Structure 1
C-alpha cells in the first residue's frame, strides 16, 4: 500500500475522523524525525534518552553537535528548542523554532512551541500569531485551542 503524500497527511489533519488525524500526525512526526535517516534518528533518540534521565546539558551538547554536522536537520533544531523551553530559555527556543518553520513551514510542533514560548514571555500578540499558524495546520489540537483562548483573554 503506498504511503500518503505530505499534502494528503496535511489534509487528514483537518478530517473529522480522530484516528485518521492521529495517524497523519504520527506520520508527519516520523517524516521529520527520519529526515536524516537512521543516523540522525538514533542521535535524536539518544538526546531524548539523555533528557529523560535528567542529563539535559549532555542532551544539548549532543544536539549542538548534530546541528553543526547537519544544519538542515530541522528536527534537531526542534528538539533543542524543546530542551531550551524546559530550561525556560524562551528566546533561544524561539530562535530554534524559527529555523524549523523556515525549513519546514508546515511544522505544527515548532509553531506550537514558539507560541508557548511567546506566551511564557507575556508576548501574547506573537503567541497568537504562532498558535494560529499551528491551528491552521492542525485545527483539532486542543492544547493549541486552549492556548489561543488563554492568550486572547490576556489581551482583553
Structure 2
C-alpha cells in the first residue's frame, strides 16, 4: 500500500470539502505516528496508556527513552510535548514542539501546541503567530481562528 504524497495531502487540507480535509488530516497523522513502524507506535501507545492511568512520570520516561533511541521520530517529541503541556510544564512543552517543527515543518499539531504554550505563558503575540501559521496549513481549522481572537482580546 503506497502513501499519498505529502504535497497532495497538504493541498487536500485546504479543500472546501470537509470530508477531503478530514481524510487528509487523518492520513498525515497516520504517517507521523507510523514513521518508525510498529515499534514506535507501540511505545507511543504504551505512553498514552500510562498517561491515562496517571503514571505521568513513567510515560515521560518512556517517551524520553524513545526520543533518545530515535531522535528523528517527530511524533515521539510531539507526544512528550503534549504530556508536558498537560502537566503545565509549558516551557518544556514549547521546547519539544519547536524540535518537532525542526524535524517536520508541516506538523500542524506541534505548531498548534506552540500556540497553546505561548498563550499559557502570556506571550499572546507569539501565540497568534503560531495559530496563523497553522491556518496556512489548515485554513478551515476553526479552533485556531477562535484562539487568535481570544489571544487578540488578551492584548487589549
Same fold (TM over 0.5): yes
CA distance in 1, matches of 2:2, 2:64: 35
Other-structure match for 2:105: 105
Shift of 1:36: 0.7
Aligned to 2:72, the other structure's residue is in SS state: coil
CA distance in 2, matches of 1:142, 1:55: 33
With the length of structure 2 as denominator, give the TM-score of the two structures.
0.97
Q: Which structure 2 residues correspond to residues 1-156 of structure 1 after superposition, within 5 A? A: 3-156=3-156
CA distance in 2, matches of 1:143, 1:47: 26
How many residue pairs get aligned? The number is 156
Shift of 1:4: 2.0
After superposing on structure 2, the runs of 4+ consecutive aligned residues of structure 1 that deviate more than 3 Å are: none
5+ unaligned residues in a row in structure 1: which ranges? none
CA distance in 1, matches of 2:3, 2:44: 23
CA distances 1:95-151 after superposition (whole Å, capped 9, x unpaired) = 000000011000000000010010011100110111111111111112111111111
5+ unaligned residues in a row in structure 2: which ranges? none
Shift of 1:3: 3.7
Aligned to 1:71, the other structure's residue is in SS state: coil
CA distances 1:26-76 after superposition (whole Å, capped 9, x unpaired) = 000001100011101110111111111211111000001000101111100
Once superposed, what is the RMSD of the aligned Cα atoms? 1.1
